[in-house]
């Protein structure tokens, strides 16, 4: 039934799109070619999601989603403009009818100008989504922040942290581009590197072809990692509960094989010149139906509010609901998860917008409240839609400074 509704909506939108092409072009082959590709995209996404391998939203399914968006988003613009124009034509036709003593009733013909405007605006998401698939998904950016804490141990003044998140290795298909991203991370020469969850889409085997590359990541104080919601294998069907558990154990071992210290509701200490900061890592905890295995009390057992603490927690909703007011006072939390929805508009100092902000209050970048701070990394990889538009893959570099934040 869901596919019937899906197809009906898609075809309804196509009727309006067809009218746009028919209005602006006198060549019938133009709109017939459009309809051919549009229906081919529809058939492909139905096929992929009814006969696919069940490995999740990657590979052929991912590209089916991408090309569907290439056609669907412009259709929405066509629909808005043409429906508005239809309403206008109906109102104008009614006015003419009321003011006419005869019985003839006719609607004004479609305005070519409106169709041209709709086509021009629709070209923006069409080109953007294609660009996001072709180049945007590997358009790695290094975002740097300086963060001030009055209770930071003096020995850590100037300490540099690199953070990546949401690798989603099962979506990768270009080794050269991923190597460029990894090399960019290593070039930052930070004191420590943190990975904040979602190494894979579903299966540990997705990392087998990438393990050697990510093993090359290192830092003087080590590489530390946590699990994200996708790492538990919850989004595909398994032949048995034992197979699912074995997959999780294999994934944990891969962290160790890469030289990453995986924190599972536990903490470590980073030490410099006799002073320490506590590094706390929890398993996934997410609001809104996501897995809640994160145990902040267990992870922080033995710590007090006096120690300076960095918390690794995949889902930023954890900070909003559990961490921000915690009595142990977690000064800095590092998260990921949202990907910034892989779509939005960001112009530093001007605008920062993505549809994901209507789901997550803290969705990208640094937020501060009550003397605590969180950085939400936009993600290294991608999932479902095989691209990024405006929200680019991110490597975060944070420099810790002791003292009050400059005015």
**Crossing angle of helices 28-51 and 60-98, rounded to 10°:** 130
Round to whole Å and give the CA distance between 141 and 392: 7
Nearest-5° Cα angle at 86, 81 to 87: 100
CB 294 within 8 A of CB 284: yes
Output the pLDDT for position 334: 98
Question: And the tokens for 306?
Answer: 């006096």
Residues of the chain above pLDDT 90, percent: 75
Cα dihedral 149/153/159/164 (nearest 10): -70
Model confidence band, residue 185 (pLDDT cutoffs 50, 70, 90): very high
Tens of pLDDT along 5-58? 888 889 888 888 888 888 888 888 888 888 899 999 999 999 998 886 556 777
In the sheet that 275-281 helps form, which strands lie side by side, from edge to edge?
Answer: 266-272, 275-281, 309-312, 332-335, 372-376, 365-369
Output the pLDDT for position 112: 79
What SS3 class is residue 118? helix
- Beta strands per DSSP E along 222-371: 223-226, 260-262, 266-272, 275-281, 309-312, 332-335, 345-347, 351-353, 365-369
| CB atoms near residue 116 (< 10 Å) | 13
Indicate whether 111 pLDDT > 80: no
Residue of higher predicted confidence among 27 and 233:
233
Indicate whether 343 pLDDT > 90: yes
CB 362 within 8 A of CB 404: no
What residues does 269 pair with on adjacent strands? 278
Q: Name the average pLDDT for the chain.
A: 92
Ranges of CATH 3.60.21.10 domains, the chain: 136-402
Output the pLDDT for position 88: 76
Tens of pLDDT along 306-323? 999 999 999 999 999 999
* Ramachandran category for residue 158: left, alpha or beta (phi over 0 → left; psi -120 to 50 → alpha): left
What residues does 268 pair with on adjacent strands? 279
Write out the H or E segment, with its range, that includes residue 396: strand 394-402
**Which of the four CATH numbers 3.90.180.10, 3.40.50.2020, 3.60.21.10, 3.30.1440.10 does domain 136-402 have?**
3.60.21.10
Output the pLDDT for position 277: 98
Output the pLDDT for position 103: 55
Exposure string for 329-366, b = 16+ CB within 10 A, e = fewer: bbbbbbbbbbbbbbbbebeeeeebebebbeebebbbbb
| pTM, two decimal places | 0.92
Round to whole Å and give the CA distance between 328 and 104: 78
Output the pLDDT for position 20: 85
Output the pLDDT for position 108: 56
Residues in the chain: 407
Model confidence band, residue 265 (pLDDT cutoffs 50, 70, 90): very high
- Number of H helices and E strands in the chain, helices first, is 9, 14
Indicate whether 107 pLDDT > 60: no
Candidate from 5-9, 25-29, 157-161, 271-275 with smallest mean pLDDT = 25-29
Output the pLDDT for position 109: 63
Tens of pLDDT along 364-391? 999 999 889 999 999 999 999 999 999 9
Q: Residues 353-356: contacts with CB within 8 Å, 24+ apart?
A: 354/390, 354/391
Output the pLDDT for position 100: 62
Q: How far is CA 261 from CA 160, 223, 237, 248, in A?
A: 18, 6, 29, 16
Round to whole Å and give the CA distance between 210 and 188: 21
Model confidence band, residue 3 (pLDDT cutoffs 50, 70, 90): confident
């Amino acid at each position: 039934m869901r596919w019937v509704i899906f197809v009906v909506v898609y075809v309804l939108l196509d009727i309006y799109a067809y009218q746009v092409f028919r209005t602006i072009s006198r060549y019938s082959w133009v709109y017939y070619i459009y309809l051919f590709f549009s229906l081919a995209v529809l058939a492909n996404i139905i096929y992929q999601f009814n006969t696919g391998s069940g490995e999740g939203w990657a590979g052929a399914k991912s590209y089916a989603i991408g090309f569907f968006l290439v056609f669907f988003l412009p259709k929405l613009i066509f629909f808005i403009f043409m429906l508005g124009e239809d309403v206008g034509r109906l109102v104008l036709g009614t006015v003419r009818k009321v003011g006419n003593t005869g019985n003839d009733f006719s609607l004004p013909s479609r305005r070519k100008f409106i169709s041209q405007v709709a086509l021009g605006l629709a070209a923006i998401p069409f080109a953007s989504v294609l660009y996001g698939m072709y180049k945007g998904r590997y358009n790695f950016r290094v975002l740097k922040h300086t963060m001030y804490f009055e209770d930071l141990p003096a020995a850590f003044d100037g300490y540099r942290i690199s953070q990546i998140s949401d690798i989603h290795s099962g979506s990768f298909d270009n080794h050269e581009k991923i190597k460029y991203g990894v090399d960019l991370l290593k070039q930052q020469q930070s004191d420590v590197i943190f990975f904040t969850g979602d190494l894979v889409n579903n299966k540990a085997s997705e990392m087998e072809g990438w393990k050697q590359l990510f093993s090359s990541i290192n830092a003087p104080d080590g590489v530390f990692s946590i699990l994200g919601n996708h790492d538990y294998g919850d989004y595909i069907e398994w032949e048995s509960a034992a197979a699912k558990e074995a997959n999780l154990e294999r994934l944990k071992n891969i962290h160790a094989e890469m030289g990453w210290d995986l924190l599972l509701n536990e903490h470590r200490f980073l030490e410099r010149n006799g002073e320490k900061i506590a590094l706390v890592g929890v398993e996934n905890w997410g609001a809104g139906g996501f897995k809640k295995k994160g145990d902040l009390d267990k992870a922080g057992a033995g710590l007090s509010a006096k120690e300076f603490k960095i918390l690794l927690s995949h889902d930023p909703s954890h900070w909003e609901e559990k961490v921000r007011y915690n009595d142990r006072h977690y000064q800095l939390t590092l998260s990921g998860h949202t990907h910034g929805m892989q779509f939005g508009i960001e112009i530093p100092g001007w605008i920062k917008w993505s549809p994901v902000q209507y789901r997550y209050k803290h969705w990208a970048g640094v937020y501060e409240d009550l003397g605590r701070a969180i950085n939400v990394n936009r993600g290294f990889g991608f999932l479902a839609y095989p691209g990024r538009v405006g929200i680019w893959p991110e490597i975060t570099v944070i420099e810790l400074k002791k003292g009050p934040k400059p005015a």
